[in-house]
Amino acid sequence: MKQLTHLSFAALLIAGSLGVETVHAQSRRYNGPRIDYDFQMTPPGRFGNCDSFQQNDQQQHFKVCQFATAEARRMAEVFAGQEGRIEGYHRGYAWGLNQGIDINIANVGQMRRGAAELRFYEHKLAIADEMGINKAEADATPLAAQEVRNRFNAAVDSGNVPNDRFQVPQSYYPGEQNSFERFVGKVPTVAEVIRRDRYNDYLPVYRDFDRTYRDGPAVRRRAVDMYSNNGVYRPVFNRYDSSDEILRLWLNRRIDAYARYDRLNQGAPTNPDGTLVTNFQDLFQSIFSKGYIHFARYSFSRNFNDALDLGFHHGEDAGLEIGAEVARARGLQDAFDQEFRVRSINSYKDQFHKSFASSFESTYADYKNSAKLSIELLELIGEDNDGIIQPGEKVAMKFKVVNAGGKGSDLRIKAEGDIVSGSTEVKTIAALKSGIFTTGLIATVDPRLGNRARANVVLNVNGMTDSIGTSVSFLVQMTGQSASLNTLRGSALVNVTAENVATVSTPRAIKATLKIAGKTFEATGTTLEPGQVQKLAIDVTGLDPYALITSNLSGQLELKLGDQSIESRNVSLGSTSRINDSVEYFDQLANGNGLVPAGIGAGTQTQKVLELLVSHNDSETDRNSGRGGSNMYRKDAQSTVVGKIRDTKMKREQSAAAKGQYARLGNILIKAKDKFKSFLGIAPKRKHYVQIVEEIIE
């Protein structure tokens, strides 16, 4: 700080310690918001609490009262005055800091001083020249090259050589932006400047702190603690006005006056019981508390307002320096950004013309003296010319070549991709010409590709490639299939739909075969005209009903063109209503008219189906044997296994042998009754289950 500032602060401290009782003057420099506090602006009146002791000739009481009053006054001047001095200084400093920053942060003179430092940043400004040059090359080079390409492409098949004259087009480049931050650094904020070491000391108001009654200030603040957007520090007013707390502080500090306090009750009059007539220490404390309150507010107010101006002066000085530092940095930033932008624009303009001319000339020479080929694969042509490409078919390629260069070229042509047995052909193309070429049978489509596969065939011309994807297909495709099954007769009708997808008739008739359960079944069709659809029906017989009921029989369905396999698919045959079919099949076997496969005895087949029904029933009774839930054997008997068996038996006349088989089945089913739980000796499900089974046995 300036020497004058420090002397002013020292003078303020001296005035406060002497307790000069002059009429308080309002602060003269502080111009911030009004402070919301009831300051006492004039010295307090005479403290008259000791008068009654003097009037009553109570000399000891009077002396103690004067002693307490003097100490209270001194405590108010030192403690309350010091609190006012610190808080007033805080308030003024915060406002002055804010005002000083605002004054200088946009100061034109300071910003010019910052701009004058631009001469020290030439090494950074040189980057602008490089960036302008690089940007011009990046813009002009491809632009000129494209102009040449466009001219040569337009000249293809025209018979003319492109003109080699050019005019540099208009260009626009706004220059580099925000360059100072990118290449130098960010302009420091006010908060960042305040945190620097030279502003990091504690405020000078704490330097001459009076330690009579306490060791140090309640808080110590630095400049950074006082900075805020609005510059308003809210003072603390409640640290000096609690008389009990102030008395405690006085009693805890062994100052010289405390020895006298200790002796106040020595030789004091006592009562007959030995107790003090008057406890003069208590009297001291009472007078002290009252006296302190009498003097404290004025001491706080006077020192607060005196320190307000000094704090404002110190804060403003610091704020002016901080604002100036930020302003200089901003001035340097503005000057740097402007100079950087201008230099980058100027270097761009110079380089753009050079780069455009250089790129145009080199690209033109390249196109004039070279072949510039582009290719497009248009079509694959099959050897059979039947509208499709088949696996293993030889193919030719139809493609387009454009030579936008000033020299002719040989064309080395070969096929790649999903092909075998590829060969190479050579053709030629003249300068600035285009042509459509068709090769011979240059390759064979990979025969390992299946029907409906996707083949990717690649054209390679002088190392350039283009590809085309095509579906690979035989003459005939299987476009649909379906099956209808008669489980109990062991037969099925498998339908196959075939279509000729080529543009020629099939040379041989189509045929469909099905291999299932160790047997082969087939249906033969005719030859097909282009686009013709034909349905084939394969009659399947002799399947085991039991196998169809208990599982799905898998078979292989195959479409053939003569003896050539075209396509194959899996077929699965099986019952879709296993319990119903089991019940019906048992009834047929019991009556001697059920289908029994060759090699299996009727009795064996019947026993297998009987065991199957018992198994279905066991699963069902396990799920429904509990006491809870609906009694399906009474409410929905026809949906149960035993209900279905009973209903099937009852709906037709049964032979004597069949009745015997039903009775044998029923005697096994009746054993499941023990699964049903009873409650209080009652088992409704068991009762109705038994009733149904007994009808099966009868």
Q: What is the pLDDT of residues 137-195, one digit of tens each?
A: 999 999 999 999 999 999 999 999 999 999 999 999 999 999 999 999 999 999 999 99
Helices (H), 381-468: none
Q: Left, alpha or beta for 495 (phi > 0: left; psi -120 to 50: alpha)?
A: beta
The three-class DSSP label of residue 641 is helix
Rounded distance, CA 239 to CA 226, Å?
20
Lowest mean pLDDT among 181-190, 294-303, 601-610, 677-686: 677-686
pLDDT digits (tens, 9 = 90+) for 222-232: 888 898 989 89
Mean of pLDDT values over 36-63 = 88
The three-class DSSP label of residue 557 is strand
In this structure, the strands spanning 519-524 and 476-486 are unpaired
For 172, phi then psi, to 5°, come to -135, 130
Rounded distance, CA 527 to CA 511, Å?
10
pTM for the model stands at 0.60
257 pLDDT band, cuts 50/70/90, is: confident
Lowest mean pLDDT among 3-12, 160-169, 290-299, 566-575: 3-12
Q: Is the pLDDT of residue 349 over 60?
A: yes
Rounded distance, CA 139 to CA 121, Å?
28
Q: Is the pLDDT of residue 37 over 90?
A: no
Report which DSSP code applies to 679. Answer: B
Q: Is the pLDDT of residue 4 over 60?
A: no
Domain boundaries, the chain: 3-17+51-110+196-326, 373-472, 476-576, 580-697
- HSE-up (13 A, CA, CB side) for residue 130: 5
Q: 373-472 and 476-576 share one CATH topology? A: yes
Residues comprising the chain, all counted: 698
Token pair belonging to 305: 């307002």
Q: Is the pLDDT of residue 328 over 60?
A: yes
Enumerate residues 6+ apart whose C-beta is below 8 A from 165: none
Token pair belonging to 522: 């087939």
Mean of pLDDT values over 126-140 = 96
Percent of the chain clearing pLDDT 70 (strictly above): 95
- What pLDDT score was predicted for residue 379? 94
CA 622, 623, 624, 626 torsion-angle sign: positive
Closest CA to 482 of 498, 474, 493: 493
- What pLDDT score was predicted for residue 27? 56
- HSE-up (13 A, CA, CB side) for residue 614: 16
Task: List C-alpha distances in Å: 645 to 32, 115, 632.
Answer: 105, 108, 15
Q: Is the pLDDT of residue 574 over 80?
A: yes
- What pLDDT score was predicted for residue 550? 92
The CA-based dihedral angle spanning residues 540, 544, 547, 550, taken in that order and rounded to the nearest 10 degrees: 100
79 pLDDT band, cuts 50/70/90, is: confident
Q: Is the pLDDT of residue 11 over 80?
A: no
681 pLDDT band, cuts 50/70/90, is: low
Which CATH architecture best describes the domain 373-472?
Sandwich (2.60)
Rounded distance, CA 563 to CA 513, Å?
11
CATH number of 476-576: 2.60.40.10
